[in-house]
Amino acid sequence: MNGVLRAELLSTRKRPGVWIVGGAWAGLALAFGMVVPYIVWLAIRNRPVGSSGDPEQLIGGLLPDKFLSATVDLYPMFGSALMLILGAVLVGGEYRWGTWGTLLVQGPGRSAAVLGKAAATAVTVLCVTVLVLGASAGASGLVATLTGRPAHWPAATALLGGIGAVWLISMAAASLGILLAILLRGTGAAIGVGLLWLLAVENLVSGLAGTLPALKWLQRLLIGPSAGSLATALDPSGKPNTSIPGVVSVSGPLTASLVLAGYVVVCLGLSTVLVSRRDVT
């Protein structure tokens, strides 16, 4: 298994799509999570509270004590979609290039091959997680310096919890991307179906849950609302940031974590069964 993991990590490092998706998400998270709100604050900081929003509330969300929740807030609508693409790219390319057969002939069984890809995905997602949170933390510290405000950083346990939350959300979405890539035997179709689910179906269910209480149980089983619940748990105020699209809190952090972990287990389990029981070409 160690040999399979090393081979998959080497293959992952050499895939341009992985670097593009990971780098793009780090840049987007920094831009939309920190840079754009700071520019907006500069524009409205001398205005009274009104239709343009509360300047103090806006800048407060960018300071170090809230940078964890501010970063996780980006995942329900945007980050999970990019991580789904990452998972689909890591596995779907094997169908595009016809390399599944070559991979399996070299030694590892089908289950070991899928688990090796899953482990490589977990390591890749962790690297992206650290990159995104590190960039957000640096930008948050810079905002505190530029505005002359105190930098109250989260405790070490909170930082570890934030890393775990982002990694779990990312792995749930990436695992769904892996499953769709294997199920649909390709990258493009998997990305299309996955984005339709995350950006359309999940938001439709969340929107209707307010008027149809019967959908609330289904809402608790979705990736986006579970990510929003973890973001709310990391926010010192304990309230969801409704100014960011897709952020809702529907359950406690334990329930949300179990739902996301369930996505990882079920999606990777089904992926292993599909590769093991049908023709890979």
CB 260 within 8 A of CB 223: yes
Task: Check whether 1 has a pLDDT greater than 70.
Answer: no
Per-residue model confidence (pLDDT) at position 168: 95
Per-residue model confidence (pLDDT) at position 185: 87
pLDDT band for position 266 (cuts 50, 70, 90):
very high
Task: Check whether 279 has a pLDDT greater than 70.
Answer: no
**pLDDT tens readout for residues 211-225:** 888 888 888 899 999
Task: Check whether 281 has a pLDDT greater than 70.
Answer: no
User: Which range scores top for mean pLDDT: 2-11, 95-104, 195-204?
Assistant: 195-204
What's the chain's average pLDDT? 86
Percent of all residues in the chain with a pLDDT value above 90, rounded to a whole number: 39
Per-residue model confidence (pLDDT) at position 160: 92
Per-residue model confidence (pLDDT) at position 141: 92
Task: Check whether 49 has a pLDDT greater than 70.
Answer: no
Phi-psi map region of 109: left, alpha, beta (phi>0 left; psi -120 to 50 alpha) = beta
Domain range holding 141?
2-277
Task: Check whether 29 has a pLDDT greater than 70.
Answer: yes
Task: Check whether 143 has a pLDDT greater than 60.
Answer: yes
Q: Whole-angstrom Cα distance, residue 85 to residue 79?
A: 10
Determine how many CB atoms are found less than 10 A away from the CB of residue 227. Answer: 31
For the chain, how many structural domains are there in total? 1
Q: Whole-angstrom Cα distance, residue 128 to residue 107?
A: 30
Per-residue model confidence (pLDDT) at position 246: 72
pLDDT band for position 82 (cuts 50, 70, 90):
very high
- What is the arithmetic mean of pLDDT over 11-20? 86
CA angle 51, 53, 58 (to 5 degrees): 170
Task: Check whether 250 has a pLDDT greater than 70.
Answer: yes
pLDDT band for position 255 (cuts 50, 70, 90):
very high
User: Which range scores top for mean pLDDT: 12-16, 104-108, 163-167, 202-206?
Assistant: 163-167
CB 223 within 8 A of CB 263: yes
Structure tokens at 183: 């199920």
pLDDT band for position 108 (cuts 50, 70, 90):
low
- What is the arithmetic mean of pLDDT over 195-206? 89
CB 77 within 8 A of CB 244: yes
In this predicted structure, which of 191-205, 240-254, 262-276 has the lowest mean pLDDT? 240-254
One DSSP character per residue, 175-202 reads HHHHHHHHHHTSSHHHHHHHHIIIIIIH
Class of residue 15 by CB neighbours under 10 A (exposed 0-12, middle 13-18, buried 19+) = middle
